[in-house]
Every structure is written in structure tokens, then in C-alpha cells.
Amino acid sequence: MNRRRRVYEGKAKVLYEGPEPGTLIQHFKDDATAFNNKKHALIEGKGVLNNRISEFIFQKLNEIGVPTHFVKRINMREQLIREVEIIPLEVVVRNVAAGSLATRLGLEEGKPLPRSIIEFYYKADALNDPMVTEEHITAFGWATPQEIDEVMALALRINDFLVGLFLGIGIRLIDFKVEFGRLWDNEQVRIVLADEISPDCCRLWDVATSDKLDKDRFRRDLGGVLEAYQEVARRLGVLTENPRPKGSGPVLVSSKPN
């Protein structure tokens, strides 16, 4: 099966050559890492859930006109995507103080921010993904000023959409990280959403209980990581528990006498 050429292997995903030029296959692994790879574990089934959750979100974003690299899901762990040139930035959008922002600025975790805040981190594991400003990004040529404007506009649209989507299923979107890429389309370059959107890269808190339904369960040793991801998938309506093909196999018969 893996005679396909592996193009790239990251911490949680592998990219293989796709069936046609300009396409790739994105494979979701069960690996969970945190603190720049210092903490690592296998969470069996996580890749399957993230594939489904990310498919659902990217499809919805495509539908509302946010351009993404997503084409279609192929199987339990893989999706067909368009090949893009990744802009080497992690774009973080925050609605509520948490994580590194709360630590750095001494904010109380869970406090809503005065408005949504966008931050940029330079993708460089060896440097621990340092935070950078637009000045650094343009001076070092990682993206042009126009591209940064486009990235920020898309990030805010994605945030507005996701906040509403998650609120509708009783989840507060605290913050999330996204990545963008350049897609060549007949000599034209477009900025599109790439990578994934899943509980691996979002902070998702239950509205009623503030329970964490995301990777912080792994980072902070809270247990129940897979169950939390399953809960997100279930609420989004994408958890298909062993669907039985129609018209085949045993049929459930009522045990009650009639």
C-alpha cells in the first residue's frame, strides 16, 4: 500500500504523492506530540477522528467560499488535497485568554478578550516556533504585505464561522491555529487554507462545564483524550459508529413479544 512516494512526514500527518500532478494524499496518524516533540504518545483512533472532523470543517468552509486545499476524504485516515506551497507561519486566532497568551500577559484563563487577536509564529522546530510580527514576516520574505492581509482576512472569516459552528453544539472556541498555502491556478496564485482543523490545534471548552475537549487533555495529563475528540465528532454529527451497509447483514429484531 505504501509504495506511494512519501513527500513529507510531520508529527501527526504524512503527505504522499497524489493520483494526479498537483494533488497529495494527507494521512492522519495517531501520534500526539506536545512541547515541541518532548512529549509523545500514540492515541489509538485519534487520526481517524481528526480526519473526519477536519473533513467536515474544511467542506463547510469550502461551501461558504473560504478557499481550502481540501478535495475529498478517501478513507478512514486519508484525504485528497491540492498541493500548495506552505507559508511558514502558524496563524493563531484567539477569542479567550488561555495557554501561552494567558501565561505571557498574566491573564486569567477563560477571560474573553476585548476582540479577536491574531498572532503569527514562524514554523521552525529548531527555534521552538518563535512568535514574529508582520515586520519580520515581510523583511525575511516569508509572505508579502498583501499575502498577510489576505491571511488575516481569511483567518477572521474562519474564526467567525467556527465560533458559530461550535457554539451551536455547546462548545466555546477559545483559540486555534491554522496554516495557509499558495495555490497555483493557471499562472495565478491564491492563498488557501491548508493543513487541518481538529481538536489537535484548537482549544474547545464545553459551554456548560468548561471541560476541555482538545489536545490540552494530552498536554496537561488530564486523561480521556480520545473520549474528548469522540465527543467533538459526535456533536458535529460525524461519528459514524460501524455503519452497516443497507440491505445486508443481520437485522435487529425486537425482543418484546407482540
Interacting residue ranges for ligand UDP, rule: CB under 6 A: 90, 92, 98-101, 129, 175-177, 201-203, 215
Our CB check for ligand UDP shows the closer of 77 and 203 to be 203
Pick the closer one to ligand UDP by CB: 83 or 90.
Answer: 90
Min. distance of Cβ 249 from ligand UDP in angstroms?
40
| Of residues 73 and 212, the one with the C-beta less far from ligand UDP | 212
Least distance to ligand UDP from the beta carbon of 99, Å?
2
- Burial group, residue 194, by CB count within 10 angstroms (0-12, 13-18, 19+): buried
Q: Which residue number places its CB atom closest to ligand UDP?
A: 99
CB of 155 to ligand UDP, least distance (A): 12
We find the least distance from the C-beta atom of residue 138 to ligand UDP, in angstroms, to be: 22
Q: For 4-45, where are the alpha helices, taking DSSP H only?
A: none
Report the residue number, 74 or 224, with the smaller CB distance to ligand UDP. 224
Q: Compare residues 18 and 98 and give the one whose CB is closer to ligand UDP.
A: 98
| Nearest CB to ligand UDP, comparing residues 81 and 92 | 92
Provide, rounded to whole angstroms, the least separation between the CB of residue 119 and ligand UDP: 7
- CA 200 to CA 203: how far, in whole Å? 8
Residue 49 and residue 65: Cα distance in Å, rounded?
24
* CB of residue 92 to ligand UDP, shortest distance in Å: 5
| 24-28, long-range: CB < 8 A, 24+ apart | 24/80, 24/81, 24/82, 24/83, 25/74, 25/78, 25/79, 25/80, 25/81, 26/78, 26/79, 26/80, 26/81, 26/196, 27/77, 27/78, 28/54, 28/77, 28/78, 28/196
Handedness of CA 241, 246, 248, 249 (dihedral sign): positive
* DSSP H helix total and E strand total for the chain: 6, 14
